[in-house]
């Protein structure tokens, strides 16, 4: 009859009669450790081979997107690192430091993030930065005159007490600027329609509308 055998995890079968010496136990453990290291090393080499030979720096993967792009903002070309799913509002505020563009609802409903792209008022929170391309983007920071003077729409907002809390004001101003550049003499109904995409939580709609009509006389 064979002697009873006891199983020691990681060591292999060992006799109860203590026939296996301490050196043999250490040798078995060392061999197991060496085997695991070999498996890990071979996997790392295989992975690096795929990375090295499967994705050449000169030939990016078909699904990759160039992250470092050029944006035409307020008359300047700005180089910026942009994530594939990044919105223009996020890029303007957190990459370029143009915090005049407000981020409120973040789903294209309130108009606080409105900017002007090639003459059209646009919600920047629902516009992917990568989709802008070579188009000209203008934010409220770009309305400042060469000597720091206010844009006629900005001055009209002050004169008519348009802003209340002021959070929606940049978007209101940019919508008004786009309107008056396309139609310098709008009717009140045309102005109301053009400004309808901007929500005011303070309810100062008449003040903003009066501001647009006042600015129309000086633009």
The structure's pTM equals 0.70
**143 and 36 together in one domain:** no
**35 and 97 together in one domain:** no
**209 and 131 together in one domain:** yes
Q: What is the CATH number of the domain that holds 207?
A: 1.10.150.120
Per-residue pLDDT of the chain (219 residues; tens, 9 = 90+): 445 444 444 444 444 444 445 555 455 555 666 666 565 555 544 444 433 334 444 544 444 567 999 999 999 999 999 999 999 999 999 999 999 999 999 999 999 999 999 999 999 999 999 999 999 999 999 999 999 999 999 999 999 999 999 999 999 999 999 999 999 999 999 999 999 999 999 999 999 999 999 999 875
- Tell me if 113 is assigned to some domain: yes
- Tell me if 121 is assigned to some domain: yes
**210 and 133 together in one domain:** yes
User: Total domain count for the chain?
Assistant: 2
Segments forming the whole domain that contains residue 15: 5-54
**93 and 38 together in one domain:** no
| Contacting residues for 108 by C-beta, under 8 A, at least 6 apart | 123, 125, 126
**26 and 132 together in one domain:** no
Both structure tokens of 122: 């646009």
- Tell me if 62 is assigned to some domain: no
Neighbours of 187 (CB within 10 A): 11
**139 and 42 together in one domain:** no
The backbone torsions φ and ψ at residue 78, rounded to the nearest 5 degrees and listed phi first, read -115, 125
């Amino acid at each position: 009859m064979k002697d009873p055998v006891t199983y020691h995890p990681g060591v292999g079968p060992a006799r109860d009669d203590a026939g296996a010496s301490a050196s043999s136990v250490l040798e078995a453990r060392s061999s197991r450790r060496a085997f695991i290291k070999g498996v890990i090393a071979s996997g790392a080499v295989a992975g690096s081979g795929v990375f090295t030979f499967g994705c050449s720096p000169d030939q990016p993967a078909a699904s990759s997107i160039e992250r470092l792009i050029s944006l035409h903002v307020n008359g300047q070309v700005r180089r910026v690192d942009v994530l594939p799913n990044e919105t223009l509002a996020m890029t303007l505020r957190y990459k370029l430091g143009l915090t005049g563009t407000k981020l409120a609802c973040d789903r294209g409903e309130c108009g606080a993030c409105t900017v002007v792209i090639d003459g059209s008022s646009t919600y920047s929170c629902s516009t992917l930065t990568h989709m802008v391309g070579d188009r000209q983007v203008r934010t409220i920071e770009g309305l400042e005159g060469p000597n720091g003077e206010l844009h006629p729409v900005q001055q009209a907002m002050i004169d008519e007490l348009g802003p209340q809390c002021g959070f929606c004001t940049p978007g209101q101003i940019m919508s008004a600027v786009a309107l008056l550049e396309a139609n310098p003499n709008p009717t009140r109904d045309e102005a109301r329609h053009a400004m309808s995409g901007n929500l005011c939580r303070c309810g100062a709609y008449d003040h903003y509308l009066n501001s647009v009509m006042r600015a129309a006389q000086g633009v």
